[in-house]
């Protein structure tokens, strides 16, 4: 993380693990000083753990499962081992971001075996547009955010490693910082990381202006209008 020591990084990551992805989206807007940005997923994701939060640098790959691989078996195996070697390397917080390139993903790459292996490598979870299975046996503490659920791994095989990938409309490059939960995922600009704690705190303070007013027993439109005016002034 450019500009931050490991000691400075730790509390930032601890904070990011305690907040949801919509909060980080809003905090990025606070840093940018404007509403809206586009580095987030589109559509619905399926979460193996509704409370799971993924925060880390992306280890990326592409897979396919609809048809058997056309490469020789020894090539397929070598690429698989290269994939696992790549996933096992790296320091700090990491997560797997794996794109299934099939037009309609059918092969469940993420099950009991792969979640256990990847957690053993030190990764915090997986983000994929592909398929997961073994829902009752997935490795505890390794959340998976997937595009579907299915019974079989089909002909799943690795096609590329350490490459830019696209999941749910979001492009993720190797080592991008990603925050993800049951809402979806986003890429955090590296330059924003040191500013996120202050931005999250500011966002929570300003939202409290409206939330506290709305929860009061004497809340009405006049109080809403006053609170909203104060909210708009505080967040800019």
Alpha-carbon span 190 to 212, nearest angstrom: 33
Alpha-carbon span 172 to 74, nearest angstrom: 29
Any binding-site annotation on 10? no
- First-to-final CA distance of the chain: 28
The β-bridge relationship of strands 165-167 and 148-149 is unpaired
Any binding-site annotation on 133? yes
Residues annotated in the binding site for Mg(2+), as ranges? 134
Residues annotated in the binding site, as ranges? 133-134
Residues annotated in the binding site for substrate, as ranges? 133
């Amino acid at each position: 993380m450019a500009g931050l020591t490991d000691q400075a990084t730790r509390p930032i990551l601890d904070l990011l693990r305690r907040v949801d992805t919509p909060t980080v989206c809003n905090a990025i807007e606070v840093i940018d000083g404007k509403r809206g940005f586009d580095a987030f997923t589109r559509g619905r994701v399926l979460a193996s753990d509704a409370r799971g939060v993924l925060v880390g640098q992306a280890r990326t790959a592409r897979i396919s499962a609809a048809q058997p691989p056309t490469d020789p078996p020894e090539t397929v195996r070598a690429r698989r081992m290269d994939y696992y070697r790549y996933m096992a390397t790296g320091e700090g917080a990491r997560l797997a971001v794996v794109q299934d390139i099939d037009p309609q993903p059918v092969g469940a790459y993420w099950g009991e075996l792969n979640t256990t292996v990847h957690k053993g490598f030190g990764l915090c979870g997986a983000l994929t547009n592909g398929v997961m299975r073994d829902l009752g046996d997935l490795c505890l503490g390794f959340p998976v955010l997937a595009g579907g659920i299915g019974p079989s791994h089909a002909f799943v095989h690795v096609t590329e490693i350490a490459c830019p990938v696209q999941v749910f409309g979001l492009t993720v490059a190797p080592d991008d910082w990603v925050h993800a939960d049951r809402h979806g995922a986003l890429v955090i600009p590296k330059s924003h990381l040191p500013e996120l704690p202050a931005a999250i705190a500011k966002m929570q303070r300003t939202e409290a202006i409206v939330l506290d007013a709305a929860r009061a027993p004497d809340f009405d439109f006049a109080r809403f209008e006053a609170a909203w005016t104060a909210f708009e002034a505080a967040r800019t």
